[in-house]
Structure 1
């Protein structure tokens, strides 16, 4: 049951994530009522599959789960600080004005270094999938980090549709509760699908 659901989730994300890419036509395209309903329906599906993925990941042990969570947080942190300090070129001006290409590249590089380093840790996701091959682990980490950035942008699209800046008031200064989960929504299903097929 799990594998078909994970595959369905990845296909759904592959269809929807292009709407979060930085091009000028996106904001106008997302103003249609049908588009809003579709996004809301997809958001519910994404949340469900993310929780399923987390439950499946837990079965592999704490280090396995933690290594995936740290990947997203490290990439996000590197992107934030580098983008804030040296960011000059906007990644998605109409969706998330604070994000920059410089920050995104820094996030990918940080994820690659982290993925390679995880090949030294027993029980990590990257060791389970890539084994001791640090270059493969680094590449996989960068792919997952890129997907996490798209998940972040997708949540920004939903907030813009709703006309709000923060998704909730539960975590002041962090954009809301969903801002701590948005990058994980597409990353977890893809990571688990790769694990189920590869490892």
Structure 2
């Protein structure tokens, strides 16, 4: 497959994803949003199991149970805390249980529950704000990195540059600031946009670390031209947690 075909495939998948997300956001229905985020979560959970080298597929059923509970409990992020306590108690009771099996219940579970909780508490505009910040971080980092990037950012991801990371954060802070004004005042919008953009950089870096440790290029192959679901949502998983915490603390 030549470069043109890969680019075309990536473009078509990207447009399809964008249209789908915009339609779901426009409808703005909790059940539909829960269903969509749930599908993303379960696929990401399965990919995370692969990256963590976990063979117990029965864990997916527990992940489904966690998401079903999130449909009826008003504070989805609290479910993450309860899940942590439940597994800690289970390990204390049965020492044959492996802590490793809990890793997918941290990543990507925490990020997805926080994103759903943010939708419950702050509405669809908060998700649009998150979407804009993370997307602009990626776009800005790529544009600045390819045009003037020289300084390596981290050994975890050798292709990323410090200039690209700083450019991505700057672009996302400026662009996200305007979207955030529909929810918060100017100062808070700048702070949240900056912190979410910064966390998005490290969310991407964290997934790169997992892939490097697992010896794979992509987390999966379900999205033609893009790889896996985790490859697309890595920045959101960190950014969603940071945004919800800051919204609750600053607003």
Q: Give the deviation of 1:159 after TM superposition.
A: 0.5
Deviations 1:51-107 (A, max 9, x none): 211211222222221111111111111101211121111101x31111111111111
Alignment partner, residue 21 of structure 1: none
Query: Is the aligned partner of 1:44 residue 2:71?
Result: no
Is 1:96–1:153's contact at 8 Å kept on the other side of the alignment? yes
Alignment partner, residue 82 of structure 1: 144
Query: Is the aligned partner of 1:112 residue 2:168?
Result: no
Alignment partner, residue 44 of structure 2: none
Structure index of larger Rg: 2
Is 2:141–2:166's contact at 8 Å kept on the other side of the alignment? yes
Between the aligned partners of 1:86 and 1:173, the Cα distance in structure 2 is 25
Between the aligned partners of 2:202 and 2:100, the Cα distance in structure 1 is 14
Deviations 1:11-70 (A, max 9, x none): xxxxxxxxxxxxxxxxxxxxxxxxxx9787444313112221121122222222111111
Q: Give the deviation of 1:5 after TM superposition.
A: 3.8
Query: Counterpart of 1:98 in 2: which secondary structure?
Result: coil
Query: Counterpart of 1:85 in 2: which secondary structure?
Result: helix
Is 1:111–1:145's contact at 8 Å kept on the other side of the alignment? yes
Between the aligned partners of 1:183 and 1:43, the Cα distance in structure 2 is 16
Query: Counterpart of 2:204 in 1: which secondary structure?
Result: helix
Query: Counterpart of 1:182 in 2: which secondary structure?
Result: helix
Query: Counterpart of 2:128 in 1: which secondary structure?
Result: helix
Between the aligned partners of 1:106 and 1:149, the Cα distance in structure 2 is 11
Alignment partner, residue 23 of structure 1: none
Greater fraction strand? 1
Unaligned 5+ segments in structure 2 are 1-73, 82-97
Between the aligned partners of 1:53 and 1:47, the Cα distance in structure 2 is 10
Is 2:144–2:163's contact at 8 Å kept on the other side of the alignment? yes
Is 1:50–1:189's contact at 8 Å kept on the other side of the alignment? yes
The answer to which structure, 1 or 2, has the higher relative contact order (CA under 8 A, 6+ apart) is 1
Query: Is the aligned partner of 1:61 residue 2:113?
Result: no
TM-score, normalising length: structure 1 = 0.71
Q: Give the deviation of 1:171 after TM superposition.
A: 2.2
Between the aligned partners of 1:40 and 1:105, the Cα distance in structure 2 is 35
TM-score, normalising length: structure 2 = 0.57
Between the aligned partners of 2:106 and 2:232, the Cα distance in structure 1 is 18
Query: Is the aligned partner of 1:177 residue 2:229?
Result: yes
